[in-house]
Chains A and B, each alone.
Chain A
Amino acid sequence: MKQTDSLVIKICGSAGDGAISAVEILNRACALMGFHIMNFDSYPAEIRGFGKSVGHTRISRTPLLTPGRYADCLVALNDMHAITELKRIKPDAALVYDSRPPDYIEEDCAVAGFIEPGMSGYGVPLRELSAQAVKSARSRNIVALGAIAAMYNLDPEAFIEAINIRFARKSAVVREINSAALKMGYEYIRNHRERPVHKTLLAVKRHDRPIRIVNGNEAAAIGALDAGLTLYAGYPITPATKIMEYLAKKLPPKNGTVVQTEDEIAAIGHVVGAGYTGKRAMTATSGPGLCLMTEMLNLAVQAEIACVVINSMRGGPSTGLPTKTEQADLNLALYGGSGDSPRVVLAPANVPECYIMTRRAFEIAEAFQTPVILLLDFFLSNRFEDVDETVLETFEPGMFKRLTAEPVSGKPFERFRVTDNGVSPAAFPGMPGLKHAITGLEHTPRGFPNYEGDNHRAMTEKRRRKFIELQNAWPHPDVTGPKGQLSIGVLSWGSSIGAVREALASPELKGLSIGGCFPRLLQPLQTEPLKLFANRCDRLVVVELNSSGQLAGLIEQTTHKKAMRLADVPAEPPAVEQIVRYLTGVLK
């Protein structure tokens, strides 16, 4: 029987079949057992009530970089939907299906009809066992979890603990009958299969560190809360809405305010207004909303107002692919807006970084009096990882600090004083002796409208100069791989970094002369370390989820070196297999 480091499990059903909540329980159980998890579900439609939902999770003994693409185990809670997932399973995958549906199924509509040599079919009377346990078919998902526990030698007690956590707010009866359903699935496999175990997951040590299972959106929202957020203004849009929904619950108890505005223009307006008064405010949106915000972001650049915008990217231009992932808003984030409009753009690579960088974003915004755009994407926003709370607690605030003005008697306050580092001491309404006016018009150091070339040049330069300090203070991009000259240097950003790192560590590429370089700060770009890396590489390859190679273009500009592009828009997270294939091809 096969042993494995990590397992990919997909549970597939219609809305209401409980595929997603089964995966939640599975995640929790595995975290309790000491495994790492990475979970990325998919629902193709925005409207609920129809359609397929696929819970997809990967379990491993070592920290995970990607959720994996091909499943070791596919659980069919709905046959038709599961059939469409068959192209995403491994050749030796196990298929768990209902062996006793209430009636015969039409031809080619039964997933068990597609089991191929190499695969293992695990027929379990999901409905019947569920009916025995809970008097309805509702807990088929839990029965299936029991089967999974038996198939992969996982401790059923951990699952029961997870069920108790999941249904903590339900009655004890609900917990009991679901635990019974779990045991039935478990026992069924153990008693009815000659070889119950499909694969064995190499064991891990149980530990009792507090583990939170959060996705990128939640991590960012928690980061904002911990940063002391005062106001959140937003307009619902997939995949950012969850940030607002989370904060709507958690911010009011902390004396903050969440306001759902009539549109994104109003949302960023509120944030800019709050920022003007020196409070921490944020909005989160996706591409179409960021488009609407550009004018207001311009105002924040011009009037030097701190604000934080999370942009969780989805696919395509316009309404595009609202529930699919892509990394094609980089140019919009970097350049969107009229005039020279510098702002800070950060792209976290994983869930813990969503927390850290959101917290840090507020410091940057205040210290440099600028909009900060955090680029998440559908994948990162929605993927769950196990996060060790003790790691979050080690965040050290104060990397960047705001410079506040002191009144100097007899001298008029210069809100936009041209300083060496470009940062002018700030003042906020309510502060005596520092009254001033700000405007979106070009202005003098005191904030008065002014259209002179010299003034405009000085102000434009000052607004750009502010970022030199950030460029220097920010940690250099991660560089991996052998030292010295490299055949290929691979660059990537945001949520794609994980897939690239996993590809570089794959048996096919391990030990070859390939290195990686992974910037998080995309504007201002850290030119020097990037040039150093590029100079060590015979060829540069940039991996990202957009078709034009948006980071690649930026890298070429900064390093003066041609970059090959693995720029694809598959409407799903990048496939490690594709990256490996591409790099192997480049080496040949």
Chain B
Amino acid sequence: MKPFHYVIIGNGVAANKAAETIRHNHADAKITLISREFFLFYYRHKLPLYITGKIDETDLQVYPVEYYRERNIRLRLGQIVQKVDLHKKVVYLKHMEKVHYDRLLICSGGRSYIPEIYYPFRSCFTTMKRLSTARTIREKLPSVQSIAIVGGDLTSVKLAETLIDTGREVTFILDDYAFWPLESASEIRDSLENALRKMGANVISNDPLNMVKQIKDDDPPLYEIQTQSGKTLQAQMVGAFFGFKPDIDFLIRSGLDIDRGILVDDQLKTAFDDVYAAGDCAQIYAPELKNYWVSVGWKNALRLGEAAALNMVGLTGHARKPAAHATQYKGIKLSTPWWHIL
């Protein structure tokens, strides 16, 4: 008899917590993790330290490969899910392989978001969601002296800090998107600005980006940035930090209900039996609010991954919208249900 097959799309924190939970409760099932990234599960929040060379790739890794061997979890790394057929229960991979599941969990997380108005300049932007891009930045960085950061979400603060630490010139062009993933941006705007200045960054606020263009195709290249007030500046790298949005393009036409994420009930199940979603890609129903909420952040993803897995193995797990908690980061006062300073 073929073993029961759990397929998990993703190899982030939600996916890994889910795999661990499934294995704990279902010893002889087949478990497969699929990730487009070619790396073992790693701490995303440490990417800024990695980029500036403070830590190495091995320090990013959460588990060694033996962890998966011992637990008999099949890792399919560097493999991209192209589409799914939820009726036939098949996941189609880009390298043209079919994977059949008995129960599917989608933990595809988010990807760097670029607001529509800035979309024309996307080729000039460097983003930092994945280790592969971080690796490229790390390689380019030695020749880069000046960096402009547009947007400026929470992930960029740590990056700015380490960049300045290593003697680079950093200019922030803050705008309305800058405070992802906080629900209300205005409350921290000032403290953020102050904090950045204190770190030694130049800050341009209330004067959003108008245009970016590459003016030199050298090593390093050179970009010219213009704000709406007509101010121009030059930088050798332009980081775009506008937060993340669910990475679920491959689910278009799958029949799943999608709004700002994959719609799931408070047990993380989609409208399809045997199909669940958790982590940054999910939009979850909260019965007490009679509304949906989108999960963001490491700890939330971890909890959701666990809850989804419990439901998948036949036990019960509930998603709870976390309550906001107050934290401090570099003098920035935050009250957020999402972010934990890691």
Contacts and interface: CB of A to CB of B under 8 A. Distances in A.
Co-assembled chains A and B? yes
Contacts of A108: 97
Interface stretch (A112-120, A159-167, A469-477, A576-584): A112-120
Interface stretch (B71-79, B268-276, B318-326): B71-79
Q: Among A100, A109, A117, find the residue whose CB has the most chain B CB atoms closer than 10 A.
A: A117
Interface in A86-130: 97, 99-101, 103-110, 112-113, 115-117, 121, 123
B99 A115 contact: no
Interface size class of A (residues with CB under 8 A): 10 to 19
A108 B7 CA distance: 13
Interface string B64-96: 010000000001111100000000000011011
B170 interface: no
B4 interface: no
Nearest to A110: B97
A115 B36 CA distance: 12
B93 A113 contact: yes
Interface residues of B, number: 17
A113 B76 contact: yes
B40 interface: yes
Interface centre among B76, B95, B99 (most CB of A within 10 A): B95
Contact of B96 (A105, A115, A116, A121): A105
A113 B95 contact: yes
A166 to B, nearest CB: 31
B98 A106 contact: yes
Contacts, number: 48
Given A116-B77, A117-B65, A101 B40 contact: no
A104 B39 contact: no
A107 B77 contact: no
Interface string B100-123: 100000000000000000000000
B329 interface: no
Nearest to A98: B96
Contacts of B98: 104-107
Contacts of B96: 99-101, 103-105, 110
A107 B99 contact: yes
Contact of A99 (B39, B75, B95): B95
Interface in B13-70: 38-40, 65
B77 A113 contact: no
Contacts of A99: 95-96
Contacts of B75: 116
Contacts of B95: 97, 99, 110, 112-113, 121, 123
A117 B40 CA distance: 7
Contacts of A117: 38-40, 65, 77
Given A109-B97, A113-B79, A113-B93, 15 more contacts: A99-B95, A99-B96, A101-B96, A103-B96, A107-B99, A107-B100, A108-B97, A110-B93, A112-B79, A112-B95, A115-B77, A115-B79, A117-B40, A121-B78, A123-B95
21 contacts: A97-B95, A99-B95, A99-B96, A100-B96, A101-B96, A103-B96, A104-B96, A104-B98, A105-B96, A105-B97, A107-B97, A107-B98, A107-B100, A108-B97, A110-B95, A113-B93, A117-B39, A117-B77, A121-B78, A121-B95, A123-B95
Interface of A: 97, 99-101, 103-110, 112-113, 115-117, 121, 123
Nearest 10 interchain pairs by C-beta: A110-B97, A112-B95, A104-B98, A105-B97, A113-B97, A107-B99, A101-B96, A104-B96, A107-B100, A105-B96
